[in-house]
Chain A
Amino acid sequence: MSALAASGATLTSTGEAVQFWVLGTVAVIGALCTVLMRKAVHSALCLAGTMIILAVFYLANGAYFLGVVQVIVYTGAIMMLFLFVVMLVGVTAADSLKETLKGQRWLAVLCGLGFGILLIAGIANAGLTHFNGLGRVNSAGHVQGLAELIFTRYIFAFEITGALLITAAVGAMVLTHRERTERAATQRELAEKRVREGVQLPPLPAPGVYARHNAVDVAGLLPDGTPSELTVSKTLRARGQVRDVSGQALEDLKALEQASAERLGREEASK
């Protein structure tokens, strides 16, 4: 693979071709899924997959350093950052795919199609047939070659991107930092506030009990037997992950009966 990239051939090897067509298809599907998945988490995962495939393509094109960086920085750091934020804010509900802006979707499709066709036509029109390959420039070592460029010709850009990163870090802190403008309420003040509002005086009721696993997602039953939503955590409620165990007991009983019947049957059969 690397040997092929290094050579100045116009055509790649069959192996690379196979790899391109297989992984390329997967990458496109991943990209489409990123756009079309309802849940942000799924989108993020699909994007991570696409990025890993791109890392492979970088390697195939002789950009070994970039391929590694792609996996470490993009897939490892940036996508994890995305997942953190998704967990932080995006967990409330699935994104509605219903379009609210009039004509936006049609315009998007029209522009996308036109843009894509034009871009591809442009590439086809460019008539790129000859590939020089990287054999000559990698002769002193690939990473050494990159380092030479970064620290000589692109030294100012390099320094400036360093400054940019620092600025971005500071900017992110400034944006997300919240200055506390008033004293934190004490326990007593919170209690008094609760009494004043009179919504829920005592502590929230505990969740229900279903003694098969950790049962925080099961609503507790009120004395009249109806389940109370209040007993379940707000986040689970928002996600719609409250488990309904009303029919669980009967199912369990049925399963128990069947199990005993089987045993009895076997016993009958053995008799």
Chain B
Amino acid sequence: MNPVNYLYLAALLFTIGAAGVLVRKNAIVLFMCIELMLNACNLAFVAFSRMHGNLDGQIIAFFTMVVAAAEVVVGLAIIVSLFRTRHSASVDDASLMKL
């Protein structure tokens, strides 16, 4: 098997995650889809690391994880406060950014 298949898998997972962001209304699920996209990227980084024979890709994946953790913490906090004020976790309910 050619290890490039890992990249195809990463692309597939990323696309599924992106499509999930577009179709799901629940903010938590939407967040999970974003995590899925980040993980797909990480897989690609790891595969690239193996491909190029250095560890930089893995380092980037490592940083991605840290940033994802921070992002999840803040994002979930936002969801919680949103839920408190609107009693709903649907992103469509927070459609105030319009005229």
Direct contact between A and B in the complex (CB less than 8 angstroms)?
A: yes
Which residues of A are interface residues toward B (Cβ below 8 A)? 5, 8, 10-12, 14, 16-17, 20-21, 24, 27-28, 31-32, 34-35, 40, 43-44, 47, 50-51, 54, 57-58, 61-63, 65-66, 69-70, 73-74, 77-78, 81-82, 85-86, 88-90, 95-96, 99-101, 104-105, 107-109, 111-112, 115-116, 119-120, 123, 128-137, 145-146, 149-150, 154, 157-158, 161, 164-165, 167-169, 171-173, 175-176, 178
CA distance A225 to B47 in the complex (A): 67
Inside 8 A of A16's CB, which chain B residues have their CB? 1
CB proximity of A74 to chain B, nearest CB, Å: 7
Inside 8 A of A133's CB, which chain B residues have their CB? 50, 53
Inside 8 A of B65's CB, which chain A residues have their CB? 66, 69-70, 73-74
Fill in one digit per residue for B2-14: 1 if any A CB lies within 8 Å of its CB, else 0.
1111111101111
Does B67 lie within 8 Å of A161, measured CB to CB? yes
Give the size of the chain B interface in residues (CB under 8 angstroms).
69
> Could you say which of B23, B31, B52, B61 has the most chain A C-beta atoms within 10 Å of its C-beta?
B23
Does A73 lie within 8 Å of B69, measured CB to CB? yes
Inside 8 A of B92's CB, which chain A residues have their CB? 100-101
Does B33 lie within 8 Å of A35, measured CB to CB? yes
Does B6 lie within 8 Å of A20, measured CB to CB? yes
Fill in one digit per residue for B60-97: 1 if any A CB lies within 8 Å of its CB, else 0.
01110111111111101111110110000100100000
Task: Identify the closest chain A residue to B37 (Cβ).
Answer: A31
Does B58 lie within 8 Å of A146, measured CB to CB? yes
CB proximity of B12 to chain A, nearest CB, Å: 6
CA distance A120 to B14 in the complex (A): 11
A-B contact pairs, 15 of them (CB 8 A): A17-B1, A28-B12, A61-B49, A63-B58, A89-B80, A96-B25, A111-B22, A120-B8, A129-B4, A131-B3, A136-B53, A164-B70, A171-B74, A176-B80, A178-B84
Known contacts A40-B29, A85-B79, A146-B58: does B19 contact A169 (CB below 8 Å)?
no
CB proximity of B22 to chain A, nearest CB, Å: 4
Known contacts A58-B46, A150-B62, A176-B80: does B70 contact A108 (CB below 8 Å)?
no
Task: Identify the closest chain A residue to B51 (Cβ).
Answer: A131
CA distance A90 to B69 in the complex (A): 20
Given contacts A34-B32, A116-B15, 11 further A-B contacts (CB under 8 A): A12-B3, A27-B13, A35-B16, A61-B3, A66-B62, A73-B69, A82-B72, A89-B80, A95-B25, A119-B15, A134-B53
